[in-house]
Amino acid sequence: MSDGSHDRPLGPAPKIEAAAGRVLGPALRTGLSPFEDDLYTWTPEVAEELARRLDADPDESAGESMRSPVMQALHDQLEGAPRPVVLLAAELLYIQQLPLSTVTARLKRGRVRDVLSWTENPPEIPTDLDEVLTERGPLTGGLGFNVQMREHLRWLCSFIIHWAELDSSVRDAALSDPWEFQRAARSTPGDWRAIRYSLQYLVWPGHFQPIVKHEHKTRIRDAFADLISGPSGIDELDIDQDLHRISEVLSAQLGQPVDWYRGSVANQWQRHRDDHSRRAWLVRPGRGGVGQAGQWVTQNRIALPASHLPRIPAHASRLEVSQAVEQGYPHLDYQARFQLTAELHTFLSRMSPQDVVATVADARLQLGTLTDDLGYVEDGGQQLERSVLWSEVTLDLDSLPSPLSELIGEPGTVVDLTDGLDALLSAMHPGSHSSESAIAEAPAAGAVPTLPAVTDELADGLHMPREELQEIVDTLQSRQQIVFYGPPGTGKTYLAQELARFLAGADDPSRVQLVQFHPSYAYEDFFEGYRPTLTESGQPGFALQAGPLRRQAARATSESGRDHPSFLIIDEMNRADLARVFGEMYFLLEYRDRTVLPQYSPDTSFRLPRNLFIIGTMNTADRSIAMVDAAIRRRFAFMELHPDTPPVAGVLRRHLEARDASTEPADLLEALNSEMDDSDRDLRIGPSYFMKDEATEPGGLEAIWRFDLLPLLEEHYYGRLTRAEVHERFGLAALRRKIGRA
């Protein structure tokens, strides 16, 4: 990549990629603004100021605005910002929005122009850069590229700062070698994969694919790995290099750039969807089949021509179908055989009874339900046939709801309509929700059990107000997943365990299980994965073993557990890579009535039972919850446990008074926390340190200060206070003087 010229290979969207190069080439080489000559915006100083503003909370008191909440928040954060900062925000937004396929040109342009208007004498977007915004991007960013816009811009700021800190030789290498660029981008603090993947693609479009979900990269690579003699490895670099090689092979075979999300290529790796137990399909008559769709409706069937095919069994693998197509249609070119293989494999092996089927007859969309497996018929030549129970419902092609209107326009004889399944089911079963019509692949989720009310006995035992505890239980009842977060020593884990034991009942302790996350914890540890074992012959091997989530779900759905609440407590939740640990379980945390196909057992669907409650704990002194995956934040109710606020405030004093013990520890704790500024709120100490027997024994407080609190405070204030200053300010003797007990 050179400074503004585009001597690097381009990918599937040359105009967009060339525009990105026009912006990123000079920006990464010199820091020069693409929107205003002689102004340097891509500098660490400007990026730091923009990052500081993005970290600030927007003005929530602002009145109504025509802008979206995300854009309004950005406006509030940039209020009064220097011109270079505003321009950098617009330029980064341009880069973030440019490759998207899910955002209209009007919205892309509007967002960038809106930001530019927030500075005096706003510049115009250069004509060539403006015009390319009308192009449909190759990148399916999903909802995240809208709701996480601030996070994406924040990461790009971090990248600019990090980029400037790199040695010039490292930057030069990254601008001449795509894999070196990946290493440089990946080393940016606070990695945010989606926007990083997008940036890697825009800088090196001929090498990185326009894919922003790591799961999709892995699934695509694994689906086509046979084209490159197998996968290289599991590291990001291995996967990206494999995808580059696969893309080169497929592009050469197809005679055009690969679109991973459309047509026959998409069908090869999107074998299972996590969000539906039923699928939906559009089936069109083949070439020369004018009028056939109407006959299908009359005869309750659908069919595909198969005159040249040898007999293929139902549920045949893609390889078996491909071999049959090679044998029967050697006269077709590779692209045509590839497309035919994908459609036949779908018809043979992916369609299932109870799937929704649609076809176009008499200029209307006819809807029905697949009723049985495959058959062969002789009807003017051999045909593959499947039976359909057609409904009386038809839809006007000109007024189809989204996304059906877009999906119907997809080319091909067999088209996946599953994204429009809800709309189809709503049309076929008016007044019923689609989930009520769906065929369940897993045991019924059941009803959410009613949790018992908090008793005075429980509240007294925890030394917490009953009303505050009841609020926690009510939230757990409605949300099923909560997180206790706060400084160390606030009793998060203890409260989670005691509350869960009370709510689950004392007759079966197995209804409450605790697991502790840590940095190396993975999906295979949490849900299921292969573990070393000995075979029946005594030889080493591997077996699929359930993790704590799957085991607790099994207990919850067992005959003895299905009528009772069960609990899984996840301690130190924010110490793990949550996206990696939860995997497809993210979806189930939000949709308890749906099923997923787990990656290690894709033939068996899994559902989170409604009687399984999840309680997480997060220590804010270890890692801010602001860094927690946004998907987790959306799926859990977050409840703070802090020494200064109920239900934790006053716990220690009530504990000591109940034991007729001296309240000196409570006085000392209050004095200790009052010495910390509001900016150090998350560093304040919880009461748990003083609620053990040691605290009331001779020399106990001294030991707690010496071995627990002072080392912790020294760590918290490292680089801000010397060890002597920490002891002088927070030492036991100093605090005793403050409360008059010296």
Beta bridge partners of 376: 384
- Does an H or E element contain 48, and which? helix 44-55
Instruction: Say what the pLDDT of residue 69 is.
Output: 74
**The tokens of 626 are what?**
């602001």
Cα separation, 134 vs 140, in Å, equals 16
Residue 262: which H helix or E strand, with range?
Answer: none
Cα–Cα dist 526/583, whole Å? 10
Tell me how far CA of residue 469 lies from CA of 480, 499, 647, 650, in angstroms. Answer: 15, 9, 7, 14
Q: What pLDDT sits at residue 90?
A: 96
447 HSE (CA, 13 A, CB side): 4
> H-helix or E-strand containing 298?
helix 292-299
Q: Fill in the DSSP letter of residue 706.
A: I
Candidates 616, 507, 502; CA nearest to 568 is 616
| pTM of the predicted structure, to 2 decimals | 0.45
Structure tokens at 571: 């301690």
| List of residues 6+ apart from 299 with CB closer than 8 A | none
For tokens 């290289």, the residue is 232
Q: What is the pLDDT of residue 435?
A: 37
CA distance 198 to 205: 10
Quote the pLDDT of residue 288.
Answer: 58
Amino acid 436: pLDDT: 33
Q: What is the mean pLDDT of each run of 10 residues along the chain (742 residues)?
A: 57 94 95 95 97 81 60 91 96 95 84 94 94 90 72 95 96 96 94 93 95 86 87 88 93 87 73 54 77 86 86 76 88 82 85 87 88 62 81 86 73 81 82 38 57 94 94 94 92 94 88 94 92 63 83 82 91 90 87 78 74 93 65 87 92 90 90 86 88 84 90 88 90 88 71
What burial class does residue 36 get, using C-beta atoms within 10 Å of its C-beta: 0-12 exposed, 13-18 middle, 19+ buried? buried
DSSP, res 595: -
* Of 553, 527, 526, nearest in space to 611 by CA: 553
E-state strands within 538-659: 540-546, 566-571, 612-619, 637-640
Task: Report the pLDDT value the prediction gives residue 492, as an integer from 0 to 100.
Answer: 93
Q: Give the pLDDT confidence score for residue 23 in this predicted structure.
A: 96
Residue 578: both structure tokens together: 């949550």
